[in-house]
Structure 1
Amino acid sequence: MGIAAKSSNSLAFIFRVRLPFHAFTYSTSNSGSRDYVQNPNQNRNQFLQSVRDVCKARAFRNLDHALHLFDTMLHLRPLPSIDYFNHMLGAIARMKHYSEVITLIREMESSGISLDVYTLSVLINCFCHLNRVGFGFSVLARILKLGYQPDCITLNTLVKGLCLQGNLGGAVSVVFDSIREKKGYKPDVITYGTMINSLCKVGETGAAIRLLRKMEKGNFELDVVLYNTIIHSLCKDRLVTEALNLKSEMMSNGIQPDVVTYTCLIQGLCNFGRWKEATSLFKEMEQKKIMPDVHTFSILVDTLCKEGMLTEAKEVFDVMIQKGIEPDVVTYSSLIDGYCMQNKIDDAVKAFNMMIERGCLPNVFSYNTLINGYCKNKKIDDAMRLFHEMSNKGMIPDVVTYSTLIGGFCRVERPQAALEFFYRMRAYGQHPDLQTYAILLDGLCKNKRFDEAMTLFQEMEDNKLHPDIVIYCILIDGFFNAGKLTTARELFYSLPTKGLQPTVPTYNIMIKGLCQEGLIDEASELLEKMDENSCSPNDRTYNRIIQGLLQHNESSKAMKYLQIMVDKGFSANATTVAMLFDLLSSNQVDNNIQEFFQNPVQDVADSCRTGAATNLILGLALGYKSVIIPIFATSIAIYLSFSLAAMYGIFVSALGMLSTIGGIAEVAGMSHEICERTDALDAAGNTTAAIGKGFAIGSATRVSLTLFGAFVSRASIKTVDVFTPKWRLLLGVLAGSLVSGAQAGGNLHAKALGPKGSDAHKAAFIGDTI
């Protein structure tokens, strides 16, 4: 098309006026309607039929081809019927040239062509796709004014347009208020499906489910697509159990799940680490002859790799290839990442090379995954080789690539190279994010480059890239480790002025640093302030304050925090336990320590003085002793049950007689209030009567057993009597076992423990036995 034509098109777009197509130079070579277009009036029927065929087959080469045919139709005399124009408009709309369709419809009206309901419905569709739903409603008003009855397709188009705008309230109003009540419009499956899809997209899964229930009551024919939409949304909302229940409900309604259903559920289960259930669903797919797709396999491979189950992940990967499903770049990247997480860098490289050999081109994410593996294994040269390979292949490294390599340089103690790479990153147009700064600052602090770290920190603030709490934690920890107490304090106490709230890790770093500097009182005060600031201490907090107190011989305070830690359900870590044992083995044990470590802990410690064998014996002793209370409680329960059995039977019989009290009150004409009370008793009586029937059946069974027992006795059959319940004998057996258990436990306990305070006992604490 020439320059003049392009200029004309630009003017037409500005003024929303389309110039006649015969104003342009156009070639109709290789067109199925070429002969007819050259002289359409002589071959009118053939031309119109060819236009209809092209529209149905969607065989337009481009928009210009379609516009040329439309322009030719518009100049035919007499004008073709509206049906031919509608075919053309629908075809151009399917090509997503909505603005052109609106312009063409205006030309039709200018040429005196009367629009029908289909034409106006196409116009509504175009307005809705252009996010101009208000114009769509104007066209709807015109339809009604002309006396046409809009069909479901027209109104579904408006509902979809409102949903695309996020105006779900308007969509509901159209469906349930103005249209259905006043114009007789009945929503169909497409209407509800459109609204359910839109509700799920905006996170209103509960409303989508309520709409599904409304469809069930309305006897709509539900399909798997509707259920899949809600199942996918439930999984996104982390409601996987509810999604599984919906899948069971769907199957009970005779709708079989498809690959999309299973893939959504497997993804949801894997996100929660419920990989066993995910693999069960995968096997269920195979049993139902539903072929998993590449996405399903990729999810399983990725999850198994993250769980550290590389062997199983590789088996799934191999099955995938055996079934003829070619892994994509996501599958390979997940496998490579799994190998890298377990430091199997050679296997990761093999998987990377296999991906290339099988014709799957790696992307930036694939390269980043392998580069990260190299950096973790301190193979920075190999990582840089991959970086250059990316660039040579025309790939643009992203911020993750640069951040990973910066971390790799810091890991091998090359902070200067990390800084140079950081500035190179910015020179190439990649803007570092907070994580990039965090990685570099952490590397500089660990390599004692504090001046560069503070310069970089200041640069962040100058560039209006506000540091987050992670950045401050890195700097505070780094300055504490370098003995720069004043700087670390200033950074911590400046957090409120920066609009940041200290987190538990922030307090832990401060408490550890203050304890290292011997500022125990300040560390204790900071711990007390944590609860005031709605920041509850965790096990690391208590372990660090206890360790600091023990290091500075503050055993009384240490025991106080140890008791608090235990009361909150936290456990001492290995370092804290070792320090406590060191304190116990010294001669500086005060009363607080002795009171805290009472008999249970002392016994375990004493039993270790001669090795592991006596410790095992003590374990057996405690096992025997642990059954004393349960056996005693069980014996009492048996005694009470059999002793009060008769009373229980009388009570049940009396309660069962209440089954007629409601009828008696009603016949007697009692007041409404009395009848309400007797109805409740009547219900209880009926329930008890039903239970009584159960007792009757049980009694019949007992009678038959008694008769059989009498026969055995009369026939002098030598057998064990299991027909007469000897519950007192059972109590005796339990009591005997209780006594023997207590005696055995005591004996073993005595064997396991030696005299406390003996030389051997002290030697056990000093040595490595405990």
Structure 2
Amino acid sequence: MSLMLGYLEDYAKNRRGSHNYHTILVMGYAVAGKPEFALQLFGRMRYQGIDLDVFAYHVLLNALVEGNYYDGVEAVSNQIKSRGFESEVTHSILIKSFCRKKEFDRAETYLRRVMEGEVKIKGGGYIVGALVDGLCKDEQFDRAGKLVDEFGEFHVYDIWIRELVRARKLDGAMEFLHKTRNVVQYVPDLFRYNTLIIRLLRENRLEEVCDLIIEMRESNIPPDELTMNTVLCFFCKGGMVDIALRLYDSRGQIGLSLSSMAFNYLMNTLCGDGSVVDAYRILKNALEQGYFPGVPTFSVLAHALCKLEKLDMMNELFHVALENNVVLSDRIHEIYIQALCRTGRVEDGYYIHGELNRLNKVTTGCAYNSLINGFIKSNRADIAVRLLIEMQEKGHTPSRQLFRTVIQSVCETENPEKQFQRLLEMQLSLHEIDCGVFNIFIEGAGLAKKPDLANEVYQMMKRSGISPNVTSDILLLRSYLRGEKVSDGLHFFHNILERRAIGRKVFNTLIIGLCKANKPDIALSYFTNIRAKEKTVRPSLECYEELIYVLCNHKRYDKILDVIDDLIDVGRPLSSFIGNNLLLHSLKDRELYDTWVDSRPPTELTQPESSHIWRLREVVGLFSDRFRDDISIDDLEQVVRNCFPLDIYTYNMLLRKLCAKQVDDADKLFDTLCPKGYEPNQWTYETMVHGFYKHGRKDHAKLLLKEMVQRGFRPSEVTSALL
């Protein structure tokens, strides 16, 4: 408005004396929202004997009503009447004035006087419409409805429907529309239909929307693009993908041209619903018709195609994007390469990587990881090495796990020494030389069971003037033991002792490595000697677990008890892993319990029941069938729980114990596993199947076997042969 007022001021200064000078200024200020200026100018005009034309009078009158200058309204309306300019426009404006002042009775009286007057009004519908509009805005719908019924004209109907829709009285609007259509054959214009359709869609009244669209076609009012695009968007928003797709497919019949918003809505909905084939078809149609969607639409479809592994379509989409100079986001390229590698198409992933390099786009670190791991699985360590170096040159930092995997892969090639040395030299050229780089290579060689290579790196580190740290010693020691070079490992361990005091980590590495190398006697000897000399060295829980595990496997039950004593003395908890091993060997062999009783001092039998050793001996005795024949489920659970935490493997032991003589109790315990939060595994099912079969309940066994297969487990050969 400030621009218009500036124009009027300029006009007043420079165009004085021109034709219709005063009329233009009066109308200008009236339209610009300055009716007080317009009224002053009108007064000057009348003083000078100049008058307004009929149009200007009504512009001024309407502006005074809009600005609430009701005194001026009465004066100007009298002037209009005295000059014979009075018309349906005058009456409509005056009724609007009465409505603004809440003088609805006066407005209705005025309306009836005009409508019943001797002068026939051509546009009576506009006059009635003004009062209906005012009443509806004052929430007097009942009174307005009576006027609509009494003075029904099409213009009044338009206003009535508009106000019903505005007030969200959709039932009333639909009822009125059907009634008038059948009686007086009233057909709203396209704008009214669109307004009603949009409001119905917002309230998810989709069937009525369909009825309205059909009604529009029958009335020869074809829905415009706004209507159809709005309907399509709301169908998508409401999750009615099938209907939205049918509407899209019939676009040629109804002349629908999709807006960009409707297109994006449809694409997003189809991708979210998993209908990526339809989404891809729609995108191709759009491209063929010359419409090119934005990057977000490409990204949404690309993400969905990769997620559902529709990689051939994704390949086409990638090339379409390249042809149209659309560069997808790094995240999309990443998930595309990951999907290709995941499905064994690592060469295709490498091609995409090459295309990104051509576009000067840096492949993400996660995509590099996928490519490297993919080539390792394909036994292409040479390309994996090349990519590992390249990703570092591009600014990415490979994880330690990735380094280890690549090094391990190199060590498993036909000529590992040469490639291993080349990779090490390249890695040293990229980084400042320190223990960290050498340690990764020692670890990788150890994982590949190449202790000689690991030692070569260790010696190279020393020749480079770098003193190996504790981690270096641990990794090389682990490499020797994992590579089954136990004597070399023990020699190196003594070499470590000459250079540094024995620490917990080195001690744990030695004992765990010897256990995994299946050398229980050597492991126990070093464990006992070091524990006797170095009381401050506190073994880890894993150290105890591995030692007890290997001693159990070799039936060195007399030694197990000493290790358990030591575990309790240092304050370590009895883990589920240790407890489950003891339960397993108690079930398999009564010798564990007999050895326990024979080798323990008599004083242990008199220890209080709350002691760890007493409770553990009780559990071993129960599982060795040394006590009563049967025991309740709850008691059995509680006895075990008093010793160590229960897991699904513990419950498998409990089931195996119960299946021997109490298969019904085993069945009850099995039914409680899921409610307790434990997920049965294959061993759980096999234990129950064998238990039922041994007790002659083959039907139960077959039912459980069927459930086992449905859960995705594959029965063992023994179980399959059994049934």
Q: TM-score, normalised by structure 1?
A: 0.38
Instruction: Give the structure with higher Rg (CA).
Output: 2
